[in-house]
């Protein structure tokens, strides 16, 4: 009897262990499934949220002296396909619900790197694929929480202050309710990973200079360009000092520095952008773990342009030391590209927002190349010439400025891009040391990249196709940059737009 009882229990124990193993394997398979499915594990973790924005378009590089936004919530979701109304959005900064924070995106950081601490929260462990930032409405409902002081005065709670000190409301439309989206492609380094019992730091970079559309009626509208990434206190960011290659001294003028990473098509896109200080120094921090490409442009005294210089494959935590820019000998000003963008929807006009970028191709090996984004510049006014600024974000919503060759019934808008009239100098980072190449001689060729989005949507792509690249001028010749010369770019026509 006892031996039979022991045998039955042994068999039962074996079956129980097998069942445990099967369920354990199934749990592993479920937790490791990829794609847009929700990835949650048991337990709770903590997320600390900060905000940064190294401004690059303050005077004399642009017209904005201050940009104020008022944040009321930061949320994250484990599904890459979650919509505005989906359940499961997790609050990352519950402190903001009763005490929203109004932030001047152009103020100096409170610490070495951080502009503002937004809050912290405990939330279920998992892989968070989307993040959204919700702002206080410019016309909040009665009883809604608002900041105790308001720098926008009577112009809502989100506004811009121009160089002449005038204050203008920043139109949000539905974004006050749906939030400013940071989709998977804009979370640097991949999804936010929250582990049970652990604390992680999330930084949101609000690129205000690439997020504001000035419409034809003089109003300003927000088309947010945000990125986010999991950062570490142990990472010091990427820093350096930009100097004139001949004098090894800081450049007196305007120097723009961009930090970039390739998109899904392999084109380097700007992640963050800043201007150097009076000593030529810059520091991008905090940054997620990974490698980045640095692109630098400059305009010196008397509007003398410099070649772009790029450093590729720079890991976080690197001080690059001196980065030399080479003056364009004999040039009196940078190159200027101007062109028109049109939009149609069948036989009717279409209204779109268009982000524009100037791309150059640089060698990264014996037979391979990379398209980098050249930071856009502003040519300061002189006693005889007016200021020439770049318009990297335009609203195509009226038909009053259409050229004669535009499609019938189209809306149109003109843009201006200020760029170096020279080929870049390239350095490929190595911890053991590296050198910068001599800029190639010959034609200076560019490609203008245009990406269309639905107005007031937070960046939802529009038109078919939603992105176009043009490498020709208006005569169908290759698009060349010439110093102190304005070149007309071939027209960019978007169709099937909403």
Q: Per-residue confidence at 242, pLDDT binned at 50, 70, 90?
A: very high
Q: How confident is the model at residue 233 (pLDDT cuts 50, 70, 90)?
A: low
Using the predicted structure, report yes or no on whether residue 20 has a pLDDT greater than 50: no
**pLDDT score, position 109:** 62
Question: Cα(209)–Cα(223) distance, rounded to whole angstroms?
Answer: 10
Distance from C-alpha of 307 to C-alpha of 330, rounded to nearest angstrom? 13
- Could you say which architecture CATH assigns to the domain 238-494? Sandwich (2.60)
d(CA 225, CA 211): 5
Give the Cα separation of 255 and 247 in Å (integer).
Answer: 16
HEC sequence for 291-304 = EEEEEEEEECHHHC
Say what the pLDDT of residue 51 is: 92
Please, are residues 266 and 368 in contact by the beta-carbon 8 Å criterion? no
Across-strand partners of 463?
Answer: none
Which of these ranges, 60-69, 86-95, 110-119, 438-447, has the smallest mean pLDDT? 110-119
The Cα 236–Cα 231 span in angstroms is 10
Which has the minimum average pLDDT: 43-57, 81-95, 220-234?
Answer: 220-234
Residue 298 pairs in a beta bridge with 255
**Which residues does 101 contact at the CB level (< 8 Å), separation at least 6?**
70, 71, 116, 118, 147
- Do 45 and 122 contact (CB within 8 A), yes or no? yes
Among 5-14, 315-324, 462-471, 474-483, which is the least confidently predicted range?
5-14
Q: Taking residues 405-422, what's their average pLDDT?
A: 96
The rounded distance, in Å, linking the Cα atoms of 180 and 460 is 11
Cα 195 to Cα 178, 256, 482: the distances in Å are: 27, 38, 53
Q: Give residues with Cβ within 8 angstroms of 105, minimum separation 6.
A: 53, 55, 66, 67, 68, 69, 115, 206, 208
- H/E stretch holding 24: helix 2-31
pLDDT band at 482 (very low <50, low <70, confident <90, very high): very high
Helix or strand (DSSP H, E) at 175 = helix 175-178
What pTM value is reported for the model?
Answer: 0.84
Determine contact, residues 439/425, Cβ cutoff 8 Å.
yes
Q: How far apart are CA 200 and CA 9, in angstroms?
A: 47
Asked whether 295 and 312 are in contact (CB, 8 A), the reply is: no
Min mean pLDDT across 5-9, 45-49, 388-392 is at 5-9
Q: At residue 55, does pLDDT exceed 90?
A: no
pLDDT digits (tens, 9 = 90+) for 98-127: 999 999 998 876 556 788 899 999 999 999
Confidence of residue 13 (pLDDT cuts 50, 70, 90): very low
Q: What's the rounded mean pLDDT across residues 62-76? A: 93
Mean pLDDT across the chain:
88
- pLDDT at position 175: 67
Q: Provide Rg for the chain, Cα atoms.
A: 26
Binning pLDDT at 50, 70 and 90, where does residue 12 land? very low
What pLDDT, in 10s, does the model give residues 436-451? Answer: 999 999 999 999 999 9
Least confident of 176-185, 238-247, 380-389: 176-185
For 285-303, write each residue's pLDDT tens digit.
888 888 999 999 999 999 9
- Positive or negative CA dihedral for 374, 274, 220, 222? positive
- Backbone φ/ψ region at 440: left (φ over 0), alpha (ψ -120 to 50), beta: beta
Tokens (6 digits) for 179 = 């939030």
Q: Tell me what pLDDT residue 435 has.
A: 94
* Residues 97 and 72 sit within 8 Å (Cβ to Cβ): yes
Q: How confident is the model at residue 138 (pLDDT cuts 50, 70, 90)?
A: very high
Number of H helices, E strands in the chain: 2, 33
Give the integer Cα–Cα distance in Å for 92 and 483. Answer: 49
- For residue 318, pLDDT over 90 is answered with yes
For the chain, the first-to-last Cα distance in angstroms comes to 81
Average pLDDT over residues 203-222: 87
Q: What is the mean pLDDT of residues 68-96?
A: 95
Cβ-proximal residues to 493 (8 Å cutoff; 6+ apart), any chain: 341, 342, 343, 344, 406, 407, 410
Q: Sketch the domain layout of the chain as residue ranges.
A: 41-231, 238-494
Quick one: pLDDT at residue 174? 66
pLDDT at 37 over 70: no
CB 397 within 8 A of CB 455: yes
Per-residue pLDDT band at 475 (split at 50, 70, 90):
very high
């Amino acid at each position: 009897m006892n031996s039979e009882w022991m045998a039955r229990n042994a068999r039962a124990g074996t079956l129980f262990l097998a069942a445990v193993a099967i369920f354990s394997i199934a749990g592993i398979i479920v937790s490791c499934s990829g794609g847009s499915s929700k990835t949650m594990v048991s337990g709770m973790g903590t997320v600390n949220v900060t905000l940064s924005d190294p401004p690059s378009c303050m005077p004399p590089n642009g017209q904005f002296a201050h940009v104020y936004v008022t944040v009321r919530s930061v949320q994250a979701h484990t599904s890459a396909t979650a919509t505005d109304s989906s359940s499961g959005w997790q609050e990352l900064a519950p402190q903001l619900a009763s005490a929203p924070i109004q932030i001047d995106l152009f103020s100096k950081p409170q610490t070495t790197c951080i502009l503002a601490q937004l809050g912290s929260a405990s939330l279920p462990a998992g892989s968070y694929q989307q993040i959204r930032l919700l702002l206080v409405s410019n016309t909040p409902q009665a009883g809604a929480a608002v900041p105790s002081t308001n720098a926008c005065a009577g112009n809502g709670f989100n506004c811009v202050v121009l160089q002449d000190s005038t204050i203008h409301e920043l139109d949000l439309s539905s974004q006050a309710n749906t939030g400013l989206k940071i989709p998977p492609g804009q979370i640097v380094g991949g999804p936010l990973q929250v582990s049970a019992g652990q604390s992680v730091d999330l930084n949101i970079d609000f690129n205000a200079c690439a997020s504001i559309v000035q419409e034809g009626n003089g109003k300003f509208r927000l088309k947010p360009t945000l990125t986010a990434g999991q950062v570490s206190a142990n990472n010091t960011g990427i820093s350096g000092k930009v100097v004139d290659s001949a004098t090894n001294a800081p450049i007196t003028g305007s120097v723009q520095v961009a930090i970039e990473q390739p998109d899904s098509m392999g084109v380097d896109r700007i992640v963050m952008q800043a201007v150097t200080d009076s000593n030529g120094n810059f520091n991008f921090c905090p940054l997620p773990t990974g490698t980045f490409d640095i692109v630098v442009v400059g305009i010196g005294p008397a509007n003398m342009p410099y070649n772009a210089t790029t450093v590729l494959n720079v890991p976080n935590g690197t001080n690059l030391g001196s980065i030399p820019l080479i003056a364009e000998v004999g040039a009196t000003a940078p190159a200027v590209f101007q062109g028109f963008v049109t939009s149609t929807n069948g036989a009717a006009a279409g209204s779109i927002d268009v982000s524009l970028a100037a791309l150059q191709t640089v060698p990264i090996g014996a037979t391979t190349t990379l398209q980098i984004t050249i930071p856009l510049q502003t040519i300061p006014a002189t006693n005889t010439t007016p200021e020439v600024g770049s318009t990297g974000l335009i609203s195509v919503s009226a038909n009053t400025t259409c050229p004669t060759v535009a499609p019938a019934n189209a809306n149109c808008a003109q843009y201006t891009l200020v760029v170096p009239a020279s080929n870049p100098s390239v350095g490929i980072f190595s911890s053991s040391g590296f050198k910068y190449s001599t800029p190639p001689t010959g034609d200076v060729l560019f490609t203008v990249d245009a990406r269309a989005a639905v107005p007031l949507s937070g960046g939802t792509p529009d038109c078919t196709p939603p992105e176009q690249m043009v490498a020709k001028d208006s005569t169908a010749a290759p698009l060349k940059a010439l110093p102190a010369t304005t070149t007309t770019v071939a027209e960019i026509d978007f169709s099937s737009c909403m």
